[in-house]
Amino acid sequence: MFIPEAGDYLKLRQLIKIVLINIYHNKTRSLLTTLGVIVGTATIFLVVAIGNGGEAQVNEQYSRLNVGTVIVMPASRGRVVDPLTENDVHLFMESDNIANAFPVLQGSGDINYDNYTQGSRFMAIYPEFQASNHLTIEQGRELNQEDESRSNRCAVLGAELANTLTDGYASEIVGQSININNRKFEVVGIYSRVGDGGSGMSNDDSAFIPYSTGRKYLLGSRANPIIMAQATGLETVQSALQDIKAVLDETHRMGGAEQFRIMDAGSRLVAAQESARTMSMLLLSVAAIVLVVSGIGIMNVMFVTVKERTKEIGTLKAIGAKKSEILYQFLVEAILISLAGGILGVIIGYSTVPVLEFFELPALPSISGVLIGLIFSVITGVFFGFYPAMKAAELNPIDALSYE
Amino acid sequence: MIENPKCVIDARNIVKIYQNGCEELKVLDDISLQVLKNDFSVILGPSGSGKSTLMNILGCLDLPTSGQYFLDNTDILNAKENQLAAIRNQKIGFVFQKFNLMPRLTALQNVMLPLLYRGVNEEEAIEKAKEKLDLLGLADRLSHRPPELSGGQQQRVAIARAIVGNPHLLLADEPTGNLDSKSSAGAMEIFKELNCQGNTIVIITHDVEVAEQVEKMFYIRDGKIYDKD
């Protein structure tokens, strides 16, 4: 007795061909069905891009500042009643948790080179500042201890500032003299570009001179410094902060540590990461809701499609289509529709990136974003297409054939 | 059980009962029926006689409540769902009253379908489908879709689809019901020709005119079958 093998199935290529014909026939409906998936996938793609962009930005900030750096500055921007002193610096250094501390003075003024004047920020720094802020020399030399002890009238320029002053020929400025607020300085070097930290004021746009020089010639001995301290390690930052507060409470009896802002790079970055993560979670849940809603849309449309083709399903069963073949056919239809939506979504997401950049939201498109977006679109198709496809597969051939 | 190798349909004591609430409706009542290889038979009956139910059972779309059914010596009642699908695909060719073609597929693609569901590769399916369409005079209609074809042409596509897989049994349900008299006569000529070529054909109809053209006739009424040779 011969029973035909049940193992012969419609080939996948043929199945996809038939499905594509059906989708093409219903192109308007199929396109409308994909709208939700398009939006959902585009959102997921952007979530990943924004996440990557935020991470890249945070990493860049890490690279610009040592994690153990603590900055102490007056809390109010106005006149400081009780300024930080060099005595504070010495007291900070006494702490076991602090490896190094040095004052920094900031000023702004006109910088003049070769008849060109540019308003800019300048900073009077100790040589240690350069290592703490990851400033490396592009050309010439950095500021050293000798400049500091002799109050040399020399300056090192940020990359951007050097560019602006020389109209693009930065290299020519090394060895030349510039005027800062009408005082002459010799340019001894240019720092490598560090990029915009997003804080607005970048070291790239600043001029750097020795601390003692700054006091002596530009800012005067009564200028109020900020203090940069370096914790001995990442794990001692919190203790270092405690010690700094204790010193400030002790030395500044009028207002104590309260009147100063104490920032440490590590916790600032952690906070930034935290908010980036919150943002991502928010967008991700929006994407999830959009995808669920669009999935329900797909399910709806697939139900209508199954209903419309009931008689065809009956015919297919009569000519020998197996239950699983009907199931696959409708499942593949749902998957292809959602995958098409996913691909369109990724394309639209990709073209939205410049818009985000215009609004200064850092977004970094990536292959992983494309893949995650597409995977989610396919999952939507599988998940919400399965039930209608199952219904189609389970149709009784007689009922299906007599359906009008 | 006597196995007759020439017996394509061997149905014994078929009973089909539908449960309608608590009421039992006996649609087929102890039907026995044999169709031999190369027979051309017709099952004639008025509407409500149970002939559609019988056709569904003979076509392996439905199973009887009791009785035995051997199609080409295969015990249908003991076949699993996927095996039934394979049997329908390989042993039976269906021709429907309303043709039941896939409206979005071309004539050629429609005829290819049974072969594709059998796992035959595309080139071979195209070749065989073309051959059958050519046989039925539709060589110039290969890429037409059903809505672009006349009723008679659609029925010929449907017949081509039914015979493309060389089935052991061609089962036609009111094949002329939706055709004008000219196309109807043409379709009957095709069946006769196919029968001459060695196909076993069973037509189910309520049309006495159709039935009179066929050599062997079964008459079904109120679920009982009568031999009317």
pLDDT one-digit tens code per residue, A187-200: 999 998 876 544 44
Surface of B (91-150) touching A: CB under 8 A: 91, 94, 96, 100, 102-105, 109, 113-114, 116-119, 121-122
Q: Which of A6, A312, A325 sits opposite B83 (nearest CB)?
A: A6
List all residues 6 or more positions away from A286 whose beta carbon is below 8 Å from its beta carbon.
A43
Residue B90, chain A, CB below 8 Å: the answer is yes
Spatial distance between the Cα atoms of B84 and A321, rounded to a whole number of angstroms: 10
Burial zone of A140 (CB within 10 Å; 0-12 exposed, 13-18 middle, 19+ buried): middle
Q: Which two tokens stand for residue B25?
A: 């409706």
* A364 or A390: which leads in pLDDT: A390
Q: Which of B85, B90, B104 sits opposite A321 (nearest CB)?
A: B85
Spatial distance between the Cα atoms of B50 and B65, rounded to a whole number of angstroms: 14
Categorize the per-residue pLDDT at A65 as very low, low, confident or very high, splitting at 50, 70 and 90.
low
Asked if residues A124 and A111 have their Cβ atoms less than 8 Å apart, the reply is: no
In a domain, B16, yes or no: yes
3 state DSSP class of A238? helix
Q: Which residue of A has its CA nearest to B109?
A: A18
pLDDT at A2 over 60: no
Q: How many CB atoms lie within 10 A of CB A37?
A: 30
Spatial distance between the Cα atoms of B74 and B79, rounded to a whole number of angstroms: 8
pLDDT at B106 over 90: yes
> A316 vs B117: CB contact, 8 Å cut-off?
yes
Q: Which residue of B has its CA nearest to A318?
A: B88
B132 contact residues in A (CB cutoff 8 A): none
Surface of B (52-81) touching A: CB under 8 A: 56, 59, 61-62, 72-75, 79-81
CA distances from A204 to A160, A170, A189, A225, B165 (A): 5, 13, 13, 21, 79
What is the structure's pLDDT at A100? 86
Spatial distance between the Cα atoms of A184 and A154, rounded to a whole number of angstroms: 9
A315 contact residues in B (CB cutoff 8 A): 96, 100, 102
Render A274-317 in DSSP notation, one character per residue: HHHHHHHHHHHHHHHHHHHHHHHHHHHHHHHHHHHTHHHHHHHH
What is the structure's pLDDT at A1? 43
From the CA of B137, how many Å to the nearest CA of chain A? 22
Q: What percent of chain A has pLDDT over 70?
A: 93
Q: Which of A14, A24, A29, A323 to mutate to test the interface with B (most CBs of B within 10 A)?
A: A14
Helix or strand run (H / E) with residue B36: strand B23-36
Q: What is the mean pLDDT of residues B113-142?
A: 93
Q: Which long-range contacts (CB under 8 A, 24 or more apart) does A322-325 make?
A: A322/A6, A322/A9, A322/B81, A322/B82, A322/B85, A322/B86, A322/B117, A323/A393, A323/A394, A323/B81, A323/B82, A323/B85, A324/A9, A324/A393, A324/B82, A325/A9, A325/A10, A325/A15, A325/B117
Indicate the range of A114-123, A376-385, B124-133 predicted with least confidence: A114-123
Q: Which two tokens stand for residue A348?
A: 């639209």
Q: Which two tokens stand for residue B77?
A: 């009642």
**What CATH number should be reported for the domain holding residue B136?**
3.40.50.300
B87 contact residues in A (CB cutoff 8 A): 3-4
- Cα angle, residue A87 at apex, residues A82 and A92 outer, rounded to 5°: 105
Categorize the per-residue pLDDT at B13 as very low, low, confident or very high, splitting at 50, 70 and 90.
very high
What is the structure's pLDDT at A275? 77
In a domain, B42, yes or no: yes
CA distances from A404 to A308, A401, B224 (A): 9, 8, 28
User: Nearest Cα to A123, choosing from A149, A165, A161?
Assistant: A161
Per the structure, the complete domain to which residue B23 belongs is given by 7-227
A318 contact residues in B (CB cutoff 8 A): 59, 61, 88, 94, 96, 100
From the CA of B24, how many Å to the nearest CA of chain A? 19
pLDDT at A58 over 80: no
Q: Which of A10, A21, A324 sits opposite B116 (nearest CB)?
A: A10
Q: Which of B61, B83, B118 sits opposite A3 (nearest CB)?
A: B83
- Cα angle, residue A401 at apex, residues B140 and A308 outer, rounded to 5°: 80
Q: In the block, which residue shows the tokens 């059958």?
A: B132
User: Nearest Cα to B163, choosing from B198, B189, B139, B188?
Assistant: B198
From the CA of B116, how many Å to the nearest CA of chain A? 6
Q: Which of B81, B94, B119 sits opposite A9 (nearest CB)?
A: B119
What is the structure's pLDDT at A7? 54
Categorize the per-residue pLDDT at A77 as very low, low, confident or very high, splitting at 50, 70 and 90.
low
What is the structure's pLDDT at A221? 75
List all residues 6 or more positions away from A149 whose beta carbon is below 8 Å from its beta carbon.
A212
Q: What is the mean pLDDT of residues B51-72?
A: 92
pLDDT at A168 over 60: yes
Q: Which two tokens stand for residue A107?
A: 């000023």
Q: In the block, which residue shows the tokens 């510039």?
A: A178
Q: What is the mean pLDDT of residues A157-165?
A: 89
User: What's phi and psi for B15, nearest 5 deg?
Assistant: -125, 135
Asked if residues B76 and B60 have their Cβ atoms less than 8 Å apart, the reply is: yes
A13 contact residues in B (CB cutoff 8 A): 122
List all residues 6 or more positions away from B191 whose beta carbon is below 8 Å from its beta carbon.
B40, B159, B170, B172, B175, B201, B203
pLDDT at A134 over 60: yes
From the CA of A296, how many Å to the nearest CA of chain B? 26
From the CA of A347, how many Å to the nearest CA of chain B? 30
Indicate the range of A326-335, A384-393, B176-185 predicted with least confidence: B176-185
What is the structure's pLDDT at B228? 67
| DSSP 8-state assignment for residue B45 | -
Q: Which residue of A has its CA nearest to B87?
A: A4
Q: Which of B62, B86, B88 sits opposite A5 (nearest CB)?
A: B86
pLDDT at B214 over 60: yes
Q: What is the pLDDT of residues B155-207, one digit of tens each?
A: 999 999 999 999 999 999 999 888 898 889 999 999 999 999 999 999 999 98
Asked if residues A100 and A128 have their Cβ atoms less than 8 Å apart, the reply is: yes
A3 contact residues in B (CB cutoff 8 A): 74, 79, 83, 86-87
Burial zone of B62 (CB within 10 Å; 0-12 exposed, 13-18 middle, 19+ buried): middle
pLDDT at B41 over 90: yes
Spatial distance between the Cα atoms of A277 and A246, rounded to a whole number of angstroms: 34
Q: What is the torsion angle, in degrees rounded to the nearest 10, for the CA atoms of residue B7, residue B9, residue B13 and residue B15?
A: 170
Residue spans of the domains in chain A: they are 12-61+271-402, 83-251
Q: How many CB atoms lie within 10 A of CB A307?
A: 13
What is the structure's pLDDT at B3? 62
Q: What is the mean pLDDT of residues A63-68?
A: 69
Q: What is the mean pLDDT of residues A172-176?
A: 89
In a domain, B156, yes or no: yes
Burial zone of A157 (CB within 10 Å; 0-12 exposed, 13-18 middle, 19+ buried): buried
Render A256-285 in DSSP notation, one character per residue: GGGGEEEEEHHHHHHHHHHHHHHHHHHHHH
B56 contact residues in A (CB cutoff 8 A): 398
In a domain, B2, yes or no: no
Categorize the per-residue pLDDT at A302 as very low, low, confident or very high, splitting at 50, 70 and 90.
very high
Q: What is the mean pLDDT of residues B121-131?
A: 94
What is the structure's pLDDT at A169? 86
pLDDT at B225 over 70: yes
Q: What is the mean pLDDT of residues A345-349?
A: 94
Categorize the per-residue pLDDT at B70 as very low, low, confident or very high, splitting at 50, 70 and 90.
very high
> A320 vs B75: CB contact, 8 Å cut-off?
no
In a domain, B211, yes or no: yes
Interface pTM (ipTM) of the complex? 0.93
Q: Structurally, how many domains does chain B consist of?
A: 1
Categorize the per-residue pLDDT at A397 as very low, low, confident or very high, splitting at 50, 70 and 90.
very high
Indicate the range of A144-153, A264-273, A313-322 predicted with least confidence: A264-273
pLDDT at A35 over 60: yes
Q: Which of A1, A2, A318 sits opposite B88 (nearest CB)?
A: A318
